[in-house]
């Protein structure tokens, strides 16, 4: 790979923190590359809850996650970052100038690295019961690949979050043999979705069972049934089903990041007040970074991105000031908005 492909900052993660970092780096004149395993930018905002309202981002009394992601993408891509989507980060190798990031598709050199990978890659939470491993992908799934697959089938959905309830609401239109079970009476899903769920249950389109959990999944080649138990009475029931959708959330998975010699604290990376990790030139920000007093909020992710980028810029060029000054006064914006304003006039 040619040396000109070396960016100032390789940003791992294209969620809110990574996107704001990309903007901030551009503002500071630093070149960046964003690498993400997801097919689109926006991180959890787009992948997990695009329609949900967010109320605690400064300047927006209320904004949907999708709209916030769109604004962040517009802001974060204005300085032309090199964007690599659907690439899984595999390894990071130190070299003479900085680091080379190895992904499923390429080798990307940079001077510094900013890890803004949120909770890491998302691994679906497994059902811990007999039959799970053998029947995963054989009628037992964590994702709906295509609703039509379930046309007319006997389907069991497990979970009480938005994924389970949204898919129950969607699949009621392709099959009338749909059972939703959840381990308690309270649900995590949107209130609006819950109203729709209760309407569908009252109309007999979805069969809802609460305080139920899966004890075993049965089938030779494909799922043919499940044993479900009532967690208050331990009473077991056998349900004949063709498909099980285990939509019970995700667990964080830092994957290869755990092998880079970074100081970890459970599923997070320890950083100093400058957002630098224990490895000089590698910074972390957002949900993946931890320090005393840490709050996992989008608002803190933005602030941490700014701190990390300013220190990365200073790391690359010790003569560059850490403090960026106020964006209202920065030449880079004046030149873009009113090119003549930046050019001294001669009369």
Binding range to ligand NAP, per CB under 6 A, among 160-168, 224-232, 237-245, 291-299: 160-168
Task: Quote the CA–CA distance of 243 and 45 in Å, as a whole number.
Answer: 29
**Under the criterion CB under 6 A, does residue 159 sit at the interface with ligand NAP?**
yes
The interface with ligand NAP within residues 200-239 (CB under 6 A) comprises 213
Indicate which single residue of 1, 40, 52, 97 sits in contact with ligand NAP (rule: CB under 6 A): 52
Q: Which of 21, 46, 158, 244 is the binder for ligand NAP (CB under 6 A)? A: 158
| Smallest gap from residue 50 Cβ to ligand NAP (A) | 6
* Position 132 contacts ligand NAP (CB under 6 A): no
Which residue lies nearest ligand NAP, judged by its C-beta? 161
161 binds ligand NAP (CB under 6 A): yes
Q: Which residue has the tokens 């970052």?
A: 81
**Contact in structure between 277 and 270 (CB atoms under 8 Å):** yes
Beta-bridged to residue 244, according to DSSP, are 140, 156
Nearer to ligand NAP, 251 or 336 (CB): 251
> Per CB under 6 A, which region of 22-30, 84-92, 244-252, 255-263 contacts ligand NAP?
244-252
Q: What is the DSSP string of 76-101?
A: HTTT--EEE-S--EEEEEE-SSSEEE
One of 8, 36, 162, 287 touching ligand NAP (CB under 6 A):
162
> For the chain, how long is the longest CA-to-CA vector?
91
Binding mask 270-309 for ligand NAP (x = CB under 6 A): ----------------------------------------
CB 102 within 8 A of CB 88: no
Q: Kindly tell me which residue out of 10, 103, 110, 163 binds ligand NAP, with binding defined by CB under 6 A.
A: 163
CB of 34 to ligand NAP, least distance (A): 22
How many chain residues are in contact with ligand NAP, going by CB under 6 A?
20
Other beta carbons less than 10 A from residue 14's beta carbon: 32
**Residue 319 near residue 312, CB atoms below 8 Å:** no
Location of structure tokens 């810029």: 313
Strand order in the sheet with 264-265: 264-265, 268-270, 289-290
CB of 217 to ligand NAP, least distance (A): 12
User: What number of residues does the chain have?
Assistant: 347
The tokens describing 247, both together, are 């939509």
CA distances for 30 relative to 116, 252, 280, 333, angstroms: 17, 30, 18, 15
The contact set with ligand NAP (CB under 6 A) reads 48-49, 51-52, 125, 158-164, 166, 183-184, 188, 213, 247-249
């Amino acid at each position: 790979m040619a040396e000109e492909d070396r960016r100032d900052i390789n940003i791992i993660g294209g969620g809110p923190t990574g996107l704001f970092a990309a903007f901030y780096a551009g503002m500071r004149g630093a070149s960046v590359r964003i690498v993400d395993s997801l097919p689109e930018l926006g991180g959890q905002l787009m992948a997990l809850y695009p329609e949900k309202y967010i109320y605690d981002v400064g300047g927006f009394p209320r904004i949907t996650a999708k709209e916030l992601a769109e604004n962040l993408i517009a802001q974060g891509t204005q300085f032309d970052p090199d964007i690599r989507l659907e690439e899984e980060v595999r390894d990071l190798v130190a070299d003479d100038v900085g680091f080379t990031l190895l992904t499923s598709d390429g080798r990307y050199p940079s001077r510094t690295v900013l890890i803004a990978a949120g909770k890491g890659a998302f691994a679906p939470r497994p059902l811990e019961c007999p039959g799970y491993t053998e029947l995963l992908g054989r009628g037992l799934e964590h994702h709906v690949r295509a609703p039509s697959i379930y046309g007319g089938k006997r389907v069991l959905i497990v979970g009480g979050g938005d994924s389970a309830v949204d898919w129950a609401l969607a699949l009621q239109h392709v099959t009338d043999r749909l059972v939703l079970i959840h381990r308690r009476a309270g649900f995590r899903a949107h209130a609006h979705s819950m109203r729709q769920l209760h309407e569908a249950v009252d109309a007999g389109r979805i069969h809802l069972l609460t305080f139920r959990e899966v004890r075993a999944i049965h089938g030779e080649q494909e799922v043919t049934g499940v044993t479900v138990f009532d967690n208050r009475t331990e009473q077991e029931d056998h349900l004949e089903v063709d498909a099980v959708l285990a939509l019970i959330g995700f667990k964080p998975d830092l994957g290869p990041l755990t092998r880079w010699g970074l100081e970890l604290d459970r599923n997070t990376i320890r950083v100093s007040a400058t957002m630098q990790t224990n490895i000089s030139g590698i910074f972390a920000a957002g949900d993946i970074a931890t320090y005393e007093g840490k709050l996992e909020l989008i608002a803190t992710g933005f602030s941490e991105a700014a701190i990390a980028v300013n220190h990365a810029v200073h790391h690359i060029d010790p003569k560059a000031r850490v403090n960026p000054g106020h964006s209202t006064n920065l030449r880079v914006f004046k030149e873009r908005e009113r090119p003549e304003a930046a050019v001294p006039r001669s009369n």
